[in-house]
Structure 1
Amino acid sequence: MDEIFMLAALAQSRKALPECLPNPPVGCAIVDGQKIVAQGYTRTPGKHHAEADALKQIQGQAFNFLKMYVTLEPCSFHGRTPACALAIAEDRRIDKIYVSILDPDPRNNGKGLDILKNCRKDS
């Protein structure tokens, strides 16, 4: 099932183009059990990234032990938008995250995953 959910995230990333440029086209799927409960993609620069787009859709809903599938490592820095890795870390409903590739941007490149790993040690 993991492959199916990552393919759903990939399908979302295609929706980002061309409006997301120069940001990369990223897709996200949030899963509860075996059901996708939210999906998102990177919007125009300065608007939601894929993860924030999907998290917004489940705002206020009572979920536990969700899985997130994202096509690119969540960002670790605040640019035009807040850091996605921090938003995910603060949303304690996300139990596991699956990332397709590390972000090659040197401002991030592993730092987003470090934030997520460290937040799990604190809980």
Structure 2
Amino acid sequence: MNQQYMLQALEASRQALPDCQPNPPVGCVLVKNDKVVSVGYTQKVGGNHAEVEALNSYDDGLDGEMEGVTAYVTLEPCSFVGRTPACANTLVKAGVKHVVVAMLDPDPRNNGRGVAILESHGVKVDVGLCQAQVSAFLTPYLGKS
């Protein structure tokens, strides 16, 4: 795990504002062979979440080679279908095998469920990298969607 990648995801999340509201501004960085290969952030309501944006902009994309790709995400991937599909399932289907999450989503619809989906499909999940920095930024935006 590398803090610089999570901090880059945090910077990406800032780009989501104000368009993503009331959804939280989330950032995602895809890393392969110690190189950032894609960055995404939450789009306007009803649009893609950060994980999907990063996957879509990755050259090999959703149908490509995901071997060795690690996703760094500022907030736990969502586990429920709302206006968009569940990001945890999208990461699984894309073939991502390692996800690093800064903080769990306190939303009762998700809290731990996104991580559980990932782990139940054999995805390695690490939680807590840069949690203090990400929480300081994200907390005012949580619980509003």
TM (normalized to structure 2)? 0.80
Q: Which residue of 1 aligns with 2:85?
A: 82
Q: Which residue of 1 aligns with 2:76?
A: 73
Q: Which residue of 2 aligns with 1:104?
A: 106
Q: Which residue of 2 aligns with 1:118?
A: 120
- SS of 1:100's equivalent in the other structure is strand
Q: Does 1:57 align with 2:60?
A: no
- SS of 1:114's equivalent in the other structure is helix
- Unaligned runs of at least 5 residues, structure 1: none
How far 1:63 sits from its partner (Å)?
Answer: 3.6
How far 1:96 sits from its partner (Å)?
Answer: 0.8
2:7 partner amino acid:
L
Q: Which residue of 2 aligns with 1:31?
A: 31
- Unaligned runs of at least 5 residues, structure 2: 124-145
Matched residues, number: 120
Question: Structure 1 segments of 4 or more deviating over 6 A?
Answer: none
Aligned-residue identity in percent: 49
How far 1:36 sits from its partner (Å)?
Answer: 0.4
C-alpha contact 2:30 2:71 (8 A) present in aligned 1: yes
CA distance in 2, matches of 1:62, 1:73: 23
How far 1:6 sits from its partner (Å)?
Answer: 0.3
| RMSD, matched Cα | 1.2
Deviation per residue, 1:18-58 (Å, 9 max, x gap): 10000000000000011000000000000000000001112
CA distance in 1, matches of 2:65, 2:72: 19
TM (normalized to structure 1)? 0.93
2:29 partner amino acid:
A
Deviation per residue, 1:79-122 (Å, 9 max, x gap): 00000000001111x1211000000100000000000000117x
- SS of 1:20's equivalent in the other structure is coil
CA distance in 1, matches of 2:4, 2:98: 16
Q: Which residue of 1 aligns with 2:137?
A: none
